[in-house]
Chains A and B, each alone.
Chain A
Amino acid sequence: MATKDKEWISIPMTVDVPYKFAAGEYMTKCLTELRDSGRIFAVECPKCKRVQLPPRIVCAECHVKNEKWVELPHEGTLMNFTIMYLPLTDPTTGKPHEPPFVYGSVRLDGATSVLDHMVEVEPDMDKVWVGMRCRLVLRPKEERIGDLSDIRYIEPLPGQKKPQTKSR
C-alpha cells in the first residue's frame, strides 16, 4: 500500500465517443408513432401471444419473428414502485429530476411487458400502491422527439383511494 513519502501520479482522461444509433425496424415504428401521433405500439408473439413493449424483432422465449402489431391504450395498472431518494439525471438532457419522487412500473392494459417511469404522485406510501390505476401523460406534440421521455410521467386516474387491506 501507499507509503507517505511517495507521490502517486494519476492521469485524468475523458473518453467521449459519438454515436448515431439506428432504432431499427421495430423501434422506428414505435418511436415515430409515439412522437407523431402519441400512439403506443407493441408486438404480439404469434406463438406465446405475449404482448411485448418495446417492440422487438424476436420473441426471446419462442425465438420466432414478431410480426403482429398491437396498439396499447394509455391506461394501465401500477405493478410495482419505489420512492427514489437519489437525483435522477437524464443523460440526454443533463436535467436532474429532484428527489424524492416515485418511480414505478406500469402494465398498460393488454400488455405483457411493464414500463418503468416516473409516477406523478406525492412520495408518500399512503398515496401510492400496487394495483393503482394510472395513465400515461405525454409531452405536447411539439416537444416530442421520439424517446421514452416523450412520456412525461405516469399519473393516477382520478377518484381512487388506497385500499384499506394491504396491497398486493
Chain B
Amino acid sequence: MKRNVAIIGGGQTCHAARRHDVDQAEMVNEAVRAALKDARMTMDEIDLVILGNMEFFEGVHLTDCWLVHGTGAYGKQGVKITTGGTVGATAVCAGAHHVASGLFDKVLCIGFEKQEEGDTGAILSGVANPLWGRSMAGAAVGYFAMMGSSYIANWGATEEHSAMVAVKARQNARKNKYAHLKLDITIEDALNSRMLAWPIRMLDMCPASNGACAMILADEKTAKSRCKKPVWIRAMDTAHNEQFELDWRDVKTKRLIFSRACAGRLYRKLGVDDPAKYFDVFEIYEPATWAELIWYEDLGLCGPGEGFRLIEQGKTNIDGPIPVNPSGGVLSTNCIGASAMLRVWEAALQIRGDAGEHQVPRDVRRALTTAYGGTNWTVMTALSKTLDD
C-alpha cells in the first residue's frame, strides 16, 4: 500500500434476533454514531462512505441510496460493495484502498444486515444457479454437513469436537455484551440439539441476526494526530472460488483451495512462518462448527487432521495459546453484511485492549481475521498494534 492505513474508530449495535424498534436506517445509524464517538469525530469530517450489504437479503435494491440518512452519506462520495458473506471485510479492504490511494484521509465503512426483514429461505435458494441446482435448493446446510462428514470420516474426529466449538463460541459470547446468542450451554446441550443434517445440529450453526458494524479508517498522519490507539491494517488478500466445484468440502483434497491460497499469499506478504506464533489472536468467519476446525488447518495453526486436537486441548480458548474468536464469532452473531467486518473490528478491539470481558489475557500485537461467503470465498486481513509489529 502506498500509504499506511489505520483503524481509528469503530462501533457496533447490540445484535439480536429481533430489532422491531428500529428501521434499517436507524439500526445502521446506531453503529455509525458509535464509530464516530469512538473516533471522536463528526460526520462532517468523513470524506467517503462505503456500504456493504446484501441487497437481496432484505429485498431492497440499492440499499445505499435509501439509507443515506442513516449512513451519513448524503452529499458525500461513496460506493456500495456486495460480495456475499465476505462483504464486510471487502468493505474494509475497499476503505483501505481509498485511504492508501492518497485521495481520501477519513473513510467510513459500514456493514449491516436486518435479517428479520427479509425472506432468508427464499434468498438463500436464489444462490444456486437457476438452471442447475435451484430446484434442489434449501440444501445449503447440506454443504456444511458434507464438510463435517468428510472431516469425521477422514480425520477420526467425533461429534463431540464440533460440540466443543459450539460451546466455546456461545460461552465466549456471554462475555461480549454485543453478541446475539449468549448461551450458557454444555457439550451435552450441543450434542442433544436438533439434528439438521448429519453431523450438523442446531447448535452447530450460526443464528440469523440483526445488526450493524461501522469502522473509520484513516491515513497515518490523521491516525497519529487524532487517535490514541490506532490499529494498523498490515495486509489484505482475497480469494474467490469457482462456481460449481466442491473440492473444498473434501478435507483431503490435493487441489489448492480458496482458504489456503489466500492465507499463503497473505503470509508471504508479511513473512509469516508460523501463524500460530506470529498472530496473537484470530477472528475467523465460521458459519458452522466444522468450518472452524477446518479453518485451524487451512490457516496453518496446526497440521492437516489436527484441528480437532486444538479444540480438544483448549488451545483456542480465550486464555489459550492460540485464541480464536474470543468475541463468540459468527456462531454467536450472524448479521451477514456485518459479520466479516465484525471480525476485523473485534480483532482491532483486542489489539487496543478494549474488548472488555472477552479481552484475551496477553499483550495482543497482531491479529488475523477471515471472512467467508459466496461459493467459498474469503477475504483475510492482518492487523497490528504498531507499524513495527
Q: Is A164 an interface residue (CB 8 A)?
A: no
Which residues of chain B are within 8 angstroms of A166 by Cβ–Cβ distance? 153
B135 near A80 (CB under 8 angstroms)? no
Q: Is B149 an interface residue (CB 8 A)?
A: yes
Q: Is B304 an interface residue (CB 8 A)?
A: no
Given A130-B153, A148-B136, A116-B142 contact (CB < 8 Å): yes
A21 near B149 (CB under 8 angstroms)? no
Which of B14, B132, B153 gathers the greatest number of chain A CB atoms within 10 Å? B132
Give a binary string over A71-95; 1 marks a CB under 8 Å from any B CB, 0 the rest: 0000000011111111011111100
Q: Which of A52-60, A134-142, A154-162 makes up part of the contact surface?
A: A52-60
Q: Is B133 an interface residue (CB 8 A)?
A: yes
CB distance from A27 to the nearest CB of B (A): 5
- In whole angstroms, what is the CA distance A168 to B132 when docked? 28
A116 near B246 (CB under 8 angstroms)? yes
Q: Which of B89-97, B193-201, B318-326, B327-335 makes up part of the contact surface?
A: B193-201
Q: Is B120 an interface residue (CB 8 A)?
A: no
Give a binary string over A11-43; 1 marks a CB under 8 Å from any B CB, 0 the rest: 001010001010100010001000000000000
Q: Is A114 an interface residue (CB 8 A)?
A: yes
Which residues of chain A are within 8 angstroms of B149 by Cβ–Cβ distance? 80-82
Q: Is B242 an interface residue (CB 8 A)?
A: yes
B135 near A148 (CB under 8 angstroms)? yes
Q: Is B150 an interface residue (CB 8 A)?
A: yes
Which residues of chain B are within 8 angstroms of A91 by Cβ–Cβ distance? 122, 125, 134-135, 137-138
- In whole angstroms, what is the CA distance A103 to B122 when docked? 20
CB distance from B304 to the nearest CB of A (A): 15
Q: Which of B136-152 contact A (CB under 8 A)?
A: 136-139, 141-142, 145-146, 148-150
A116 near B244 (CB under 8 angstroms)? no
Which residues of chain A are within 8 angstroms of B75 by Cβ–Cβ distance? none
- In whole angstroms, what is the CA distance A24 to B228 when docked? 56
- In whole angstroms, what is the CA distance A145 to B90 when docked? 39
Give a binary string over B35-78; 1 marks a CB under 8 Å from any A CB, 0 the rest: 00000000000000000000000010000000000000000000
Q: Is A167 an interface residue (CB 8 A)?
A: yes
Give a binary string over A57-71; 1 marks a CB under 8 Å from any B CB, 0 the rest: 000110000000000
B135 near A82 (CB under 8 angstroms)? no
Given A2-B21, A80-B249, A114-B246, A31-B198 contact (CB < 8 Å): no
- In whole angstroms, what is the CA distance A113 to B134 when docked? 18
Given A80-B150, A113-B245, A8-B197 contact (CB < 8 Å): no
CB distance from B251 to the nearest CB of A (A): 10
A86 near B141 (CB under 8 angstroms)? yes
Q: Is A10 an interface residue (CB 8 A)?
A: yes
- In whole angstroms, what is the CA distance A86 to B14 when docked? 30
B135 near A92 (CB under 8 angstroms)? yes
Which of A80, A90, A149 is the one whose CB lies under 8 Å from B146?
A80
CB distance from B145 to the nearest CB of A (A): 4
Q: Is B101 an interface residue (CB 8 A)?
A: no
Contact surface of B with A, Cβ cutoff 8 Å: 14, 20-21, 59, 122, 125, 129-139, 141-142, 145-146, 148-150, 153-154, 194-200, 242-246, 249-250
- Can you list 19 A-B contacts with CB-CB less than 8 angstroms, sorted by A residue number? A6-B21, A23-B131, A27-B131, A54-B244, A60-B242, A82-B145, A82-B199, A85-B196, A86-B197, A88-B136, A88-B139, A90-B135, A91-B137, A105-B146, A113-B244, A116-B139, A116-B246, A148-B131, A148-B133
Task: Kindly list the 5 A-B residue pairs having the minimum CB-CB distance in the complex, ordered from nearest.
Answer: A60-B242, A82-B145, A8-B20, A15-B59, A83-B198
Given contacts A103-B197, A148-B131, 19 further A-B contacts (CB under 8 A): A1-B21, A19-B130, A27-B132, A52-B245, A54-B129, A80-B250, A81-B149, A82-B142, A82-B149, A84-B139, A85-B194, A85-B198, A91-B137, A112-B245, A113-B244, A116-B136, A116-B139, A116-B142, A167-B153
